[in-house]
Amino acid sequence: MRYIIIISTILLFGSTKAQFDQQKFEKIFQEEVGNKKNSTRENHSAVYQHTTPQAVPSWFINLPVCESTEVYSIGISDPEMDSTLGYETALYRAQIMANVFYNGTTQLLCDFFFNEANNTSDIVYEHFSRINSNSYFDNNYEVIESYTNSYAETIVLIKYALKDKITSDNFNKIRLELYKNEIEASNRTEYESIYELSVYSDTENTDTLMFYQITQFGKKHDVVSKTNKTIKQVPIYSLKYMGLPSADSASVHYYSHGLWKEYFKSLTLHIISIARLKLENIQHISDAYQKDNFEKLTRGISVNKMRFALTGISGFNNELKVAMQELPIIE
């Protein structure tokens, strides 16, 4: 009987604790879903759910060969945009990326933590990468192609001639950033990433002229975009595309937030992956910088000026993949 009483007490205590945790979490739930910022967010959109796949234009995947005195660049608007605003957004994004291609500076920092404190094989990689550039070019660009699909996405291809480079010191500042945290364990890999694009004036104390952010946790994404001075969430769509060269032989590709999210994400990753092949400074950090139970920290740092040409776009595993060629820097 004594054991029954003990077990009953344990069960009663466990049940009481579970009820307390439930009530505590329910309170958090009410606060979060009642928050105006969260309650008005539209995670999913029923728009375009039952449409046929949209074919990308042929020039989107068959890009012109870049001469040494030219810069070609693509810009894409978010889905479901007004035609005028969509065109302006795509054009501005193409201009921004042209400057990144022409003369960007990559700044990379990567930390490695080995979890030897708990006798496990866990490894943590923590990356922070930044690509800086200035708005070197004025408005003397040429619109080579423009296309709007049934998802109300506008795609533009522009060309700059390098003779149009501005000599003024008044540049807008362009910044692409990627924060990435990965944990490699014996039976799992966990990661989270934040991609950001921001453009701001170097001479005026104003808000960002452009802002775009992708937050990724595993395979889940959250996207916010600033257009026409308004920051809004880009909802999850059911968008299907065809006509992309595919390494996995898929005829249709599914991109939940549209082409720009996939293009910007792939472009950022590709530039950083090329920068990581270059030499870096390696440091061994002392105990003054510890990360919970992880030790043996190694830090790699590199800074490089780089210039690129966009050479191809394809699809693989429901992701857009860009191909780029590194070119000599023009001083």
Query: CB count, 10 Å around CB of 146?
Result: 16
pLDDT score at 1 = 47
Question: How far apart are alpha carbons 44 and 41 in whole angstroms?
Answer: 9
Q: Are strands 172-184 and 123-134 parallel, antiparallel or unpaired?
A: antiparallel
Q: How far is CA 194 from CA 129, 170, 189, 207, 322, in A?
A: 10, 29, 17, 20, 19
Residue 174 pairs in a beta bridge with 133, 199
pLDDT score at 3 = 47
Domain boundaries, the chain: 1-40, 41-327
Q: DSSP assignment, residue 164?
A: G
* Radius of gyration of the chain measured on its C-alpha atoms: 24
E-assigned strand segments in the chain: 54-55, 70-76, 104-114, 123-134, 142-148, 154-161, 172-184, 189-201, 210-217, 220-227, 230-234, 240-242, 252-254, 281-284, 295-316, 319-327
In 3D, which of 168, 174, 165 has the Cα closest to residue 100? 174
Distance in Å from the first CA to the final CA of the chain = 88
pLDDT score at 19 = 65
C-beta of residue 104 within 8 angstroms of C-beta of residue 90? no
Taking the C-alpha atoms of 48, 49, 51 and 54 in order, what is their torsion angle to the nearest 10 degrees? 70
What pTM does this model have? 0.82
Residue-by-residue pLDDT tens, the chain, 331 positions? 444 445 555 555 556 656 667 778 888 878 777 766 665 666 788 888 878 899 999 999 999 988 888 899 999 999 999 999 999 999 999 999 999 998 888 888 776 655 554 555 566 677 788 899 988 777 789 999 999 999 999 999 999 987 756 666 668 899 999 988 876 666 666 678 999 999 988 766 667 889 999 999 888 899 999 987 888 899 999 899 999 998 788 899 999 999 999 999 999 999 988 888 877 676 655 544 455 554 556 777 888 888 899 999 999 989 999 999 998 887 6
Question: How far apart are alpha carbons 53 and 150 in whole angstroms?
Answer: 9
Which residue is it, tokens 């967010």? 41
pLDDT score at 138 = 74
C-beta of residue 322 within 8 angstroms of C-beta of residue 274? no
